[in-house]
Amino acid sequence: MRRLTVLLAFAGGFFAVGALLRRTSGRGRERVDLYYADGSMKTLADGSVDAARLLSLAREAIHAARA
Amino acid sequence: MDGTQAIADLTEISSQIESVVLLDGKSAVAGSTFTDDTAATRFAEAAKALLEAAEGLREGGEPLTQLEAETPEGSVFVLREGDRLIAATTVPDPTVGLVFYDLKSALRAAEDAKPKRKPRARAPKKTTKAAKDDA
């Protein structure tokens, strides 16, 4: 019984740490995904000039929505 | 369904969407979550500026139909179908596919509400003398 409790606690901890890592790994990330009529998609990752311009406009839109 | 109803349904089903605005073919606000028109127009203008800037990146290619800009504060989604447009902000880390699906459904629901041309009234059937005699 004790062994089972330890095993369950270990499994629970393992999944909790995994979930936490998955959540935090995407946080703070900035990017823009563009979808075209032909079904193609282009991602502008944070750091490029185009992404910086679009992300600045996106932040303006968010602030306009929350003002 | 009109734009206001489409937006009401959208916000009811999606807890990730914070604010949304729907523009009709004349770029007028057809529905939004904003309490005043000035705020709705301000957000719509900002979303259109984002879409236009993104369109400028690929001149001469396929038209841009939708975009998502992800920031730590939240995401901005802009979708266009024909001459209609819907833009929304969401909480950080949204379920992208689900938000796009919900926005597209709202846009189409509002599109279906557009008044359709009335069918022309049929001319009354000609009655022949023979038909009258049969009756």
- Is A65 within 8 Å of B96 when comparing Cβ atoms? no
Nearest to A34 by CA among B111, B71, B112, B77: B77
Domain presence at residue B34: yes
Q: Tell me if the pTM is above 0.80.
A: no
pLDDT at B3 over 90: no
Residue B114 has pLDDT above 80, yes or no: no
Q: Is there a domain that residue B131 lies in?
A: no
Q: Tell me whether residues A33 and B96 touch, CB distance under 8 A.
A: yes
Category of A20 on φ-ψ map: left (φ > 0), alpha (ψ -120 to 50) or beta: alpha
User: Quick check: is B127 in a domain?
Assistant: no
What is the span of the domain harbouring residue B12? 3-115
CATH number at residue B79: 3.30.450.30
- List, for residues B49-93, the tens digit of each pLDDT value: 999 999 999 877 889 999 999 999 999 999 999 889 999 999 999
Nearest chain B CA: its distance from A61 CA (Å): 5
pLDDT digits (tens, 9 = 90+) for B86-107: 999 999 999 999 999 999 999 9
d(CA B124, CA B66): 49
The C-alpha of A59 sits at a distance from chain B's nearest C-alpha, in angstroms, of 7
Residue A55 contacts B, CB cutoff 8 Å: yes
Q: How many domains does chain B have?
A: 1
Kindly give the residue spans of alpha helices, DSSP state H, lying in chain B. Answer: 3-13, 37-55, 96-112, 129-134
A14-38: pLDDT as tens digits = 667 665 555 555 556 899 999 999 9
The full set of domain ranges for chain A reads: 2-66
Q: Is A21 on the interface with B (CB under 8 A)?
A: no
Quote the CA–CA distance of B4 and B53 in Å, as a whole number.
Answer: 28
